[in-house]
Amino acid sequence: MTHVFDEAIRVEARGDGVFYATTHQAYDNMVGPFGGITAATVVNALQQHPDVLGTPLALTINYAAPVANGTWDLHTQIVRTNRTNQHWTFTISQEGQTVSTGSAVFGIHRATWSDTEAVRPDVPPAENVAALDFPDFIAWASNYDKRFVVGGLDGGKSDDSTSTLWLRDLPERPLDYPALTSMTDAFFPRVFLRHGTYMPAGTITLTTYFHATPDELAAQGSDHVLGTARAARFGNGHFDQSGQLWGGDVLLASTHQLVYFKDPT
């Protein structure tokens, strides 16, 4: 059977760098589809382009307007291909209107000196942490096994916007670049945690940096990924949100986004 995630990110190539996609109700959000699944679909399409070089290194997607349920068109363009990296731009449109724009960088991994300055959170193993469900109106969340170590929404208001949790696809699915992309947006808006309640909020722009090599993703398999996210400043209707995804002691991806919010009424 095809995994629901693979159904949701399926694309059809129509030539000239254009792909068609269709939203999937399993990944519905409070307004439109889950932004992570849209970003994952873009990565899936770019990986299938006949002229792609290497694997994803970076992705930025700007959510200019909500994507409506139904089909959407992805228009991709290679801006430049260098010896080890390749630069892309893309737009998502529905009924002739642009709803998202973005850019991506793909490239070839080379053996070089390496070091990780980021520190993985010290947490208990996933099997020692209880799974937590989200409300039914956040449909996409039911596709993930979510085990919050800190920063779940069951503790009321918090002075700290940090959430750290174990995360994996449900049902289990081997990790790949589209799945990793989606997970970088699986942190609920930090303002929910600060206020201890759901409130109007949505991502305006999301950037993901892919640190994982294909071999590191293969080694991860379908094991839980450890995610952690926090904000730096709230105000004037916006806040930032930064996160990391770890597989064992390997930093797989880091992510940054800008989110709009409205005060609860």
* Dihedral angle over CA of 7, 21, 209, 138, nearest 10: -60
Q: What is the mean pLDDT of residues 111-138?
A: 95
Strand partners, 257: 206, 241
Tokens representing 227 are 């995610």
Contacts of 173 (CB under 8 A, 6+ apart): 3, 5, 6, 179, 222
CB 10 within 8 A of CB 47: no
Distance CA 178, CA 185 (A): 12
Tokens representing 249 are 């002691």
Alpha helix (H) ranges present in the chain? Answer: 4-8, 35-48, 177-183, 190-195, 214-220
- Give the burial class of 125: count Cβ atoms within 10 A of its Cβ; 0-12 exposed, 13-18 middle, 19 or more buried: exposed
Residue 235 has pLDDT above 70, yes or no: yes
Q: How far apart are the first and last CA of the chain?
A: 44
Contacts of 190 (CB under 8 A, 6+ apart): 161, 163, 229, 230, 231, 234, 239, 241, 259
CB 11 within 8 A of CB 19: yes
Predicted confidence at residue 51, as pLDDT, reads: 98
Alpha helix (H) ranges present in 109-213? Answer: 177-183, 190-195
CB 37 within 8 A of CB 24: yes
Q: What is the pLDDT of residues 151-191, one digit of tens each?
A: 998 888 999 999 999 999 999 999 999 999 999 999 999 99
Radius of gyration of the chain (CA): 18
Q: What is the pTM of this model?
A: 0.97
| 68 residue type, one letter | A
pLDDT-above-90 percentage for the chain: 94
**Mean predicted lDDT score pLDDT of the chain:** 96
Distance CA 146, CA 163 (A): 11
Among the listed residues 201, 187, 189, 204, the one whose alpha carbon sits nearest the alpha carbon of residue 264: 201
Q: Would you give the distance in Å from CA 221 to the centre of its chain?
A: 18
- Assign domain 4-261 to its CATH superfamily: Acyl-CoA thioesterase, double hotdog domain (2.40.160.210)
Going from N- to C-terminal start, the domains of the chain cover: 4-261
Q: What is the pLDDT of residues 10-43, one digit of tens each?
A: 999 999 999 999 999 999 998 889 999 999 999 9
- Give the burial class of 151: count Cβ atoms within 10 A of its Cβ; 0-12 exposed, 13-18 middle, 19 or more buried: buried
